[in-house]
Structure 1
Amino acid sequence: MPNSTKKRILMIDDDEDDYFLVNALLQDISPDQYLLEWASSYQKGIDAIARQQHDLYLVDYRLGSHTGIDILKYFHKLGYEVPVILFTGKGDYQIDTEAMAAGASEYLVKSEITATLLERAIRYTLDKYAHLNEIAKSEKRYFSIFEKSNDLILLVDQHQRIVAANPAAIRLFGYEEKVLYSFHLSRLFAVTEDAMAFASRDLSQHGIIQQEYLLRNRTGQQLDVMMSVSMLDEKNEQYLCIIQDITARKQKAREKQQQEKFAITGRIARVVAHEVRNPLTNILLATSQLKMEPQAETEEAQLYLDIMERNCKRINQLVSALLESTKMVELIMKPTLLNSILDKALHLAADRLQLSNVDVVKELTDKPLEVLADEEKLVIAFLNIIINGIEAMPPGEGVLEISSTVDNNMVVVRISDNGSGIPEENLNKLFEPFFTSKTKGTGLGLTATQNIILNHKGLISVKSKLGKGTSFFITLPFLT
């Protein structure tokens, strides 16, 4: 039984003397390393190759009506990658070149073979093949990671131009490969300041960069991401960008923050209501008592007592409105078409839209999406936002845009106006009770709207630019 540690070599040569010579040379210099077997014709060689049982092949160029090049082509046809050393004649430079182009690992001039030269050629060829094989395996492994990773992977050059993207990145950004490869990385940023700051960076001087950014895909959808940038190939100045989409995680965090903030607001409202109503009741009782006293019969006294009573009732109404807008509402939930809810909200705002001569642009998804909703209350929530938009736009110049898009099992409704916009410092206060920039109004409309959306397991957010308008984004789960 042959020694399993020996490298198996097949020699394909129709000259038996050459086989005995090569075998003798190998046994002379390395008797325990190689096991040489012989195929005496082209066809026998082809049959042996098909079994794929050898570590290396020694092939003579001249094999009757065939050549060693035909053997190399057969290896290629099988897809069988293995080292091959071709024996050629002296001075056959064209054949040597052709052999290397056809896939030979090495060639040896038959008449010049010595034991040392043969052993060295075999050893070097096997070592080179093993090394290349390891590199190929490593490349295949990393290519598999690149192709199958759920994270977005981009390769960029020293100018931050995108040169490669994995399928996850192409899918999420929504661009064709050739289009994406014409972009600089900063083109994907949603925030201009971030894009400019990143574009000005010399990536070679920063080591590993890891930071949260807001990116934008082809449809305009904004993506919260954690981006890590590091040097991949120093010689060619290529950088690896691994982008983790944390949009869902950030949305969950924002939703939790909104709910916690709303719960705190509700608790404060109940405390305020209790602390205000007790003394308020005493003031109203005292006012009613004073009205019955003789000294209150004068016109001036009646005037002041009426002011006190009227304002006490006004405070009581505000406290009631505060409690109503911050308490968990009772909902009567039924499957309802979202487009129907939006149409009803627009219908209720029709008079205001007509008076202010506002153009309405609707781009709602054609898919008949059903949401589990208290229709009456959800209509009120959308109506509050629509009215806010109408009031923010100058008459005759307003454009109200209402669109809906599907993202996984959620529908995102965007209600945008081209009004005056909201200062950045006011955006975080927008849903707080009694916060308003209007001369009239209680500032409880958006608080109530947020309450309704949260009770529908939804999320509401707002983006605005001064002088350009405001967009509200309402995210709701839909029934599948």
Structure 2
Amino acid sequence: MFIVTLIQIILLIEYRYTIFRDSITDTDIALFTIILFIVAIIGFMQTVYINNSWKKMETHSNSLEKAFLSKEAYLNLFFENAKDSIAVFDLENKIITVNPAFEKLYGWKKRECIGKAVPLVAPEYINLAKERCNHLLNGGSFDMLESKDMRKDGTYFDAQMTLSPIFDYNGKIIATSVITRDISYKKEAEKLIIQSEKLKAIGEIAAGVAHEVRNPLTVISGFVQMMNNDKSSPYAFYTNLIEAEIDRINLIISEFLVLSKPHAMQPKVFKIDKVISDILTLYQPELQLKNIELIQNWNTNNMMINGDANQIKQVIINIIKNAVEAIEKDGNISVTVEKTANQFCSICFSDDGGGMEKEVVEHIFKPFYTTKTEGTGLGMMISEKIIQEHEGQITIDSEYGKGTSITIKLPYVDN
């Protein structure tokens, strides 16, 4: 602007000087030129200052943008790589977004559930879930809450959840977040610890009971047998009943002793095929008497197990005995032996007897729990103890009125 103005003044002086010389002197022109020059310098300094300020602002802006993008990237990395399931819901309980851990835990793919209210809670917990949702919408939260959640395939798992509302800058709730962790293994470990403590307590009791009860019981049993030898005794009915109950007490004490002994097992490799075959042969006459058909499915042969063959026999006899008792007359018992993918030999015993109710299945491994009039309630608990000592698993699947399947899994030894 200074240069353009200076050129204009020169042109005016050159071509129109005669017009202005009466009103403008050389001093005026010099003064105007000096002022114009000063204004130009000030303008130049302002331009430099503004340019530097602009560069600083631009650098700061770029820095803030990079920081924001970096923060967003870190948050995204955390969300995507978190081991716990994370899901964000809108106020209508529809899913806004989920992370890969959610997909793995619940079985729902991200594209399947975005914008939908998918069933994640077991039906019996629906009312509790609604109460939790209302509490969240009112600004509350839940920390380390334990519940039962449901996968896409309908299976349940023990869940530990942290539920929180998400607020905007004005403090208004715009969404909710749910962080979920599968604690099924933790729950199972807790059950095993409790079961171990129970077995330990029962073992301590059993050691004392076996010693203190059997001595006087032997004396009583001897006198009762002497009384039973008198055929003319008017109390024969009662003495026979007493003798039968003494035998029952002896049975309970014998099973107690199994629990009381830590049983220093001296494992040996044996063929599980032979053990099962011997027991099935032993039960053939009883099965024929009750018209029960035995179905054998040997999907593998010569399976070698490292353990105590007699203890495994005790478990199998107990299972088959229960299966025979479950079938009143005319039925089927199937035995399936096969390998599993994780180095286990699976032995499944299935019957089409009366089956068991859900409550019975849940308590069947507890001590003294029985539905039989003459049972001790220790058989299945001892069986579970033996299988666990062999580093195996025993599971029960039963439906009332349809039958029961009991599966034993034992680690096998390669031939």
How high is the TM-score relative to the length of structure 2?
A: 0.65
Which residue number in structure 1 is paired with residue 120 of structure 2? 188
From 384, 389, 398, the counterpart of 1:450: 384
| Alpha-carbon spacing, 1:315–1:140, altered in 2? closer, same or farther (3 Å) | same
- CA distance in 1 between partners of 2:120 and 2:155 (Å): 11
Note if contact 2:396-2:405 (Cα within 8 Å) is conserved in structure 1: yes
Q: Distance in 2 between matches of 1:160 and 1:277?
A: 65
Q: Does 1:260 align with 2:225?
A: no
2:88·2:176 contact (CA, 8 Å) conserved in 1? yes
Q: What residue number does 1:127 align with?
A: 60
Task: Report the CA distance between 1:225 and its aligned residue.
Answer: 2.2
Q: Which letter does structure 2 place at the counterpart of 1:323?
A: L
For 1:279, the equivalent position in structure 2 comes to 216
Which of 78, 86, 93 lines up with 1:160 in the alignment?
Answer: 93
> Shift of residue 121 of structure 1?
4.7
How far 1:241 moved relative to its partner? 1.7
Residue 249 of structure 1: how far off its partner (Å): 2.0
Q: Distance in 2 between matches of 1:402 and 1:179?
A: 39
Of 128, 135, 146, 1:197 maps to: 128
Partner AA of 1:240 in structure 2: S
Alignment partners' CA distance in 2, 1:395 and 1:290: 38
Kindly tell me: are residues 271 and 369 of structure 1, through their superposed partners in 2, closer, same or farther at Cα, counting changes over 3 Å?
Answer: same
The 5 Å alignment of 1:267-306 reads 267-287=204-224, 298-300=232-234, 305-306=239-240
Match of 1:28 in 2: 45
Do the aligned residues in 2 keep the contact of 1:152 with 1:243 (CA within 8 Å)?
yes
Q: Which has the higher helix share?
A: 2
2:397–2:406 Cα contact (<8 Å) kept: yes
Alignment of 1:237-252 (within 5 A): 237-252=174-189
Query: Residues 5-37 of structure 1, C-alpha deviation per residue, up to 9 Å, x if partnerless?
Result: xxxxxxxxxxxxxxxxxxx99983497xxxxxx
Spell out the pairing of 1:457-476 with structure 2 (5 A cutoff).
457-458=391-392
- Distance in 2 (CA, whole Å) between partners of 1:413 and 1:199 is 43
Question: Structure 1 pair 438/301, CA: closer, same or farther in 2 (3 Å)?
Answer: closer
Size of the aligned set, in residue pairs, is 363
Question: What does residue 6 of structure 2 align with?
Answer: none
Contact 1:413 1:475 in 2 (8 A): yes
Change (3 A) 1:432 1:386: same
C-alpha contact 2:149 2:159 (8 A) present in aligned 1: yes
Unaligned stretches of 5+ residues in structure 1: 1-23, 32-114
Query: Structure 2 vs 1, CA of residues 274 and 180 (structure 1 numbering), >3 Å: closer, same or farther?
Result: farther
Cα distance in 1, alignment partners of residues 280 and 115 from structure 2: 46
Q: Specify whether residues 361 and 306 from structure 1 end up closer, same or farther in structure 2 by C-alpha distance, changes over 3 A only.
A: closer
Contact kept, 8 Å, 2:167 with 2:174, in 1: the verdict is: yes
Task: Report the TM-score when normalising by structure 1.
Answer: 0.57
CA RMSD of aligned residues (A): 5.0
Q: Paired residue for 1:151?
A: 84
Mapped to 2, the partners of 1:145 and 1:392 lie a distance apart of 55
2:92 partner SS: coil
In 1, Cα distance between equivalents of 2:319 and 2:335: 12
Alignment partners' CA distance in 1, 2:267 and 2:112:
46
Pair 1:224-2:158 in alignment? yes
The answer on 1:431 being equivalent to 2:365 is yes
Equivalent-residue separation in structure 1 for 2:96 and 2:392 (angstroms):
39
Distance in 2 separating the partners of 1:407 and 1:233: 49
Out of 136, 142, 145, the position equivalent to 1:209 is 142
| AA in 2 matched with 1:28 | M
Residue 214 of structure 1: SS of its match in structure 2? strand
Equivalent residues of 1:345, 1:383 under 8 A apart? no
Tell me: CA distance 1:152–1:236, structure 2 relative to 1, closer, same or farther (3 Å): same
Report SS of the residue matched to 1:243: strand
Following the alignment from structure 1 to structure 2, what is the Cα–Cα distance between the partners of residues 275 and 184?
Answer: 64
Structure 2 contact 333–349 (Cα < 8 Å) conserved: no
Shift in Å, 1:212? 0.9
Note the residue ranges of structure 2 that are not aligned, 5 or more in a row: 1-40
**Per-residue CA shift, 1:360-384, capped at 9, x if unaligned?**
999x9x9x99875445644653664
Cα deviation, 1:122-169, whole Å, max 9, x if unaligned, reads 444333322222211111111111222222222222233333222223
Q: How far apart are residue 431 of structure 1 and its match?
A: 2.5
1:326·1:448 contact (CA, 8 Å) conserved in 2? no
- What amino acid sits opposite 1:444 in the alignment? L
